Structure 1
Amino acid sequence: MDLGIKGKIALISGADSGIGWHTARLLLAEGVTVVITDQYQDKLDAAAQQLDAKPDQLHAFVADITSIDSIAALRDKVLDAVGDIDILVQSAGITGAQGLFHELTDEGWMETLLVDLMGPVRLVNAFLPSLRTGGWGRLVFLASEDGTQPYDDELPYCSAKAGVLALAKGLSRSYALEGLLVNCVSPAFIHTPMTDAMMEKRADKLGVSVPEAITTFLDEKRPFIELKRRGTPDEVASVVAFLCSDLASFVNGANYRVDSGSVASI
């Protein structure tokens, strides 16, 4: 399918693996020039090599989205390498502090909110002038089912993702007439390194294998995932790519759930 974005320029955070990496792969296939960013150079280099893009179509720059200085340096590198971007996909995030409310520390809350809420705020703040220059733009946030269906043992993450949904909705009202459309994608239990780590921790705690941990998690914690499996990063990235495209020209301020029914409400 032709998404109508050949020649556009995209920046994708959290792109050394998972949904960010798969989104990069799909956009590259559409003829988009892509900049991927994440925290660690070795992982980013490996991710870029696996994408196997044409020369000058892919760039990889390290950045820490919790650091204003690091984001400013990233902005300068991107502008120097490719100029103003047309598309920003904010995919970076962490699970953060887990446990019941009385078990959480202030430090755990602040670390989670810094990465999962203030990270997106700071990244958008740095690149918004670039997104506003061309009369056409797409900004897609990776939120989560947790933003609308909070779980009592993941409240910092849930609160941060609820904040991302509110941030996106507010931004969508500010810049639509300039051609910048802002939307969210909210996955549930996708097969990524983040959920791998969650399931390994669960397996250790319960003294079971990782596959058994996944099965019991689905039964006990995510009973409305009707397909009874983790989603794949490609299944989320395809929706992200659509929202980055010219086909989504009347989609703004929306939250697309890719969750197999995990959110129980309509």
Structure 2
Amino acid sequence: MKIDLTGKLALVTGSAAGIGLAAAKGLALAGADVIVSSRHTESVREAEAALRTAAPGARVQGFVGDLSNAQGCDALVKAHPQVDILVNNLGVFQQQDFFEIPDAEWLRFFETNVMSGVRLSRAYANAMVKRGWGRIVFISSESGLNIPADMIHYGMTKTAQLALARGLAKRLAGTGVTVNSVLPGPTLSEGVAQMLKDEVAASGKTVEEVAAQFVQTHRASSIIRRAASVEEVANMIVYACSKEASATTGAALRVDGGVVDTIA
């Protein structure tokens, strides 16, 4: 199967690094024009350069703004009023005990991880429907099914994304616009590497070895017994955005290494 997204414009939020950047690269390599976004100008410029290196000749645009609030989302839509593919990847995570999470953090996580996708999907979906084609993907997590005890606020937002994607897929039934969730498991992104840096320094092991040890200790149901790469997750995202995925909608597509212990 050869995925060809030539002529399609894709927006990937939170795409300066990690899964978002890998997804943007994958879409660019498939021929899509890509908009990358971050709060920081330098991060956007670096992401644009990375995409042009990975996919020579790719048409890449950048947006600098904070999409965790309505003003930032409005500014993005004003700058780029129409897209064919929307990947709602923006998200924050942090290990924190339930009894130490203040209200402001619950709201910050919800605004960032959930409402950014709500606002952008609401802004872009109607035009997709009018054109009879579109792809909306929410980057959820296996943590939306296996709520982590040390990141309950994060797990809550990932479950909310699953509900949002499923409901929106049903709302857009028969329009040619598909809506899906992609659920990564433990993934060796820059953020996870940062979280593990102290243990890497103390152990003298590679970050891949420490990540594998973390998976086997904290996600013992993992079948691959290691962290996935961002490219492995991006492969599923690109498929969900493809023309070939036309019969895949309302789905929760797991790239979790088998962490979620279910056959369904």
TM-score relative to the length of structure 1: 0.90
> Structure 1: where are the runs of 5+ without partners?
none
Please tell me whether residue 186 in structure 1 is matched to residue 183 in structure 2: yes
Please tell me whether residue 239 in structure 1 is matched to residue 241 in structure 2: no
Please tell me whether residue 229 in structure 1 is matched to residue 226 in structure 2: yes
Q: Distance in 1 between matches of 2:197 and 2:104?
A: 24
Q: Distance in 1 between matches of 2:241 and 2:33?
A: 13
Contact 2:212 2:227 (8 Å CA) reproduced: no
Structure 2 counterpart of 1:217, which letter? F
Please tell me whether residue 161 in structure 1 is matched to residue 163 in structure 2: no
Report the 3-state secondary structure (helix = DSSP H, G, I; strand = E; otherwise coil) of the residue aligned with 2:181: strand
Report the 3-state secondary structure (helix = DSSP H, G, I; strand = E; otherwise coil) of the residue aligned with 2:135: strand
Residue in structure 2 matched with residue 92 of structure 1 by the alignment? 90
Change over 3 Å in CA distance of 1:106–1:200 after alignment to 2: farther
Change over 3 Å in CA distance of 1:216–1:5 after alignment to 2: closer
Higher deviation after alignment, 242-251 or 56-65: 56-65
Deviation at 1:219, TM superposition (A): 2.7
Structure 1 counterpart of 2:254, which letter? R
Q: Distance in 1 between matches of 2:197 and 2:248?
A: 38
Structure 1 counterpart of 2:233, which letter? V
Q: Distance in 1 between matches of 2:234 and 2:47?
A: 16
* Pairing 1:91-110 to 2, within 5 Å after superposition: 91-96=89-94, 98-110=95-107
Structure 1 counterpart of 2:59, which letter? Q
Residue in structure 1 matched with residue 258 of structure 2 by the alignment? 261
Please tell me whether residue 59 in structure 1 is matched to residue 61 in structure 2: yes
Residue in structure 1 matched with residue 30 of structure 2 by the alignment? 30
Deviation at 1:184, TM superposition (A): 0.6
> Structure 2: where are the runs of 5+ without partners?
none
Contact 2:223 2:257 (8 Å CA) reproduced: yes
Please tell me whether residue 49 in structure 1 is matched to residue 52 in structure 2: no
Residue in structure 2 matched with residue 68 of structure 1 by the alignment? 70
The CA deviation string for residues 99-119 of structure 1, in whole angstroms up to 9 with x for no partner, is 332232222222212211122
Contact 2:73 2:116 (8 Å CA) reproduced: no
Report the 3-state secondary structure (helix = DSSP H, G, I; strand = E; otherwise coil) of the residue aligned with 2:224: coil
Report the 3-state secondary structure (helix = DSSP H, G, I; strand = E; otherwise coil) of the residue aligned with 1:239: helix
Contact 1:65 1:120 (8 Å CA) reproduced: no
Q: Distance in 2 between matches of 1:72 and 1:240?
A: 25
Contact 2:88 2:116 (8 Å CA) reproduced: no
Deviation at 1:215, TM superposition (A): 4.5
Contact 1:14 1:20 (8 Å CA) reproduced: yes
The share of aligned pairs that are identical, in percent, is 31
Q: Distance in 2 between matches of 1:261 and 1:36?
A: 30
Change over 3 Å in CA distance of 1:157–1:9 after alignment to 2: same
Structure 2 counterpart of 1:220, which letter? T
Structure 2 counterpart of 1:100, which letter? D
Change over 3 Å in CA distance of 1:68–1:265 after alignment to 2: same
Contact 2:186 2:215 (8 Å CA) reproduced: no
Please tell me whether residue 175 in structure 1 is matched to residue 172 in structure 2: yes
Q: Say how many residue pairs are matched.
A: 259
Residue in structure 2 matched with residue 133 of structure 1 by the alignment? 130
Q: Distance in 2 between matches of 1:70 and 1:101?
A: 29
TM-score relative to the length of structure 2: 0.91
